[in-house]
């Protein structure tokens, strides 16, 4: 069984985003970039399925600029067998990414497609669901546990009331939550081995996909600074402060 894992290059989660002076977007010049944390969890799960003998091949896929090769090399170092870069300089929005991934899925015919539940740069939480709809595949989102039992995929996911377990036929689309696993540390020997693993580069045009954006970002600004709180000596003072605040609002 092949497993396709989608990975995205994003601003590292330890870096504080900086807004451009003209408000047109984020300033990514000289900023540290890394693999989206949720996608890293998805990649770890795919590698574990291969180590357990369930998966035969793990394919990492990324859509974006040439620099996304760095993210794919990280995926290869984690244990992916090969990588595919859909190279484009266009601003990719969730629907465009879902269409590109569908084209890859149609070509590779995997038994499982894993994605992070969302990317930390836009927090859209849309690509996995859109991919499942476009490809006509069953889906399980926010997965905290994944296992294969015969020809069925068992996925435990968190819901408002606790947890639910879904049984899905394969192929299927699964998006990972934080509690699914803890990604492994990428060792130096594996980083060196990753340089010899195959990486294919294709374009959206070759896949027959139009990635022109349908949404336009008008303005980006930093969130307002949080105001300092106040201390009150007792409950009566607290209630009085709340009443005063309610009058202002």
CATH of the domain at 233: 3.40.50.620
pLDDT at 25: 81
Domain that holds residue 179: 2-248
Stretch 82-103: mean pLDDT, rounded?
A: 94
Q: Using a pLDDT cut of 70, give the percent of the chain over it.
A: 99
The H helix count followed by the E strand count for the chain is: 7, 11
Q: CA angle at residue 89 from 207 to 18, to 5 degrees?
A: 140
pLDDT at 196: 93
Stretch 188-203: mean pLDDT, rounded?
A: 94
Output the 3-class SS for 124-175.
CCCHHHHHHHHHCCCEEEEEEEEEEECCEEEEEEEECCEEEEEEEECCEEEE
pLDDT digits (tens, 9 = 90+) for 138-161: 999 999 999 999 889 999 998 888
pLDDT digits (tens, 9 = 90+) for 118-145: 999 889 999 999 999 999 999 999 999 9
- pLDDT band of residue 182 (cuts 50, 70, 90) is very high
Residue 211 CB burial class (10 angstroms; 0-12, 13-18, ≥19)? buried
Global pTM? Answer: 0.85
Burial 138-159 (b: 16+ CB within 10 A, else e): bbbbbbebbebeeeebebbbbe
The residue count of the chain comes to 249
Q: Return d(Cα 242, Cα 246) in angstroms, integer.
A: 6
Q: Give the end-to-end CA distance of the chain in Å, rounded to a whole number.
A: 58
pLDDT at 249: 57
Number of domains in the chain: 1
pLDDT digits (tens, 9 = 90+) for 26-73: 888 888 999 999 999 999 999 999 999 999 999 999 999 999 999 999
pLDDT at 214: 87
The token duo for 225 is 């600074």
Q: Using a pLDDT cut of 90, give the percent of the chain over it.
A: 71
């Amino acid at each position: 069984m092949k497993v396709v894992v989608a990975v995205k290059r994003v601003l590292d989660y330890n870096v504080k985003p900086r807004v451009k002076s003209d408000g047109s977007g984020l300033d990514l010049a000289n900023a540290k970039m890394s693999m989206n944390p949720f996608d890293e969890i998805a990649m770890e799960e795919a590698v574990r399925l291969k180590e357990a003998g369930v998966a035969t091949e793990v394919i990492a896929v990324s859509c974006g600029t040439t620099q996304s090769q760095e993210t794919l090399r990280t995926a290869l170092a984690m244990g992916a067998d090969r990588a595919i870069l859909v190279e484009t300089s266009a601003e990719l929005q969730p629907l465009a990414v879902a269409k590109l991934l569908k084209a890859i899925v149609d070509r590779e015919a995997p038994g499982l497609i894993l994605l992070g539940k969302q990317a930390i740069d836009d927090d859209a939480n849309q690509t996995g669901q859109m991919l499942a709809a476009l490809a006509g595949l069953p889906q399980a989102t926010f997965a905290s546990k994944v296992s294969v039992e015969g020809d069925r995929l068992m996925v435990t996911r968190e819901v408002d009331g606790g947890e639910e377990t879904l049984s899905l036929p394969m192929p299927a689309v699964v998006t990972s939550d934080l509690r699914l696993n803890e990604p492994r540390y990428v060792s130096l020997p594996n980083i060196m081995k990753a340089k010899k693993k195959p990486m294919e580069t294709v374009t959206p045009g070759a896949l027959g996909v139009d990635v022109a954006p349908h949404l336009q970002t008008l303005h980006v600004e930093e969130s307002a600074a949080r105001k300092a709180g106040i201390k009150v000596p007792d409950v009566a003072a607290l209630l009085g402060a709340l009443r005063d605040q309610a009058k202002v609002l």
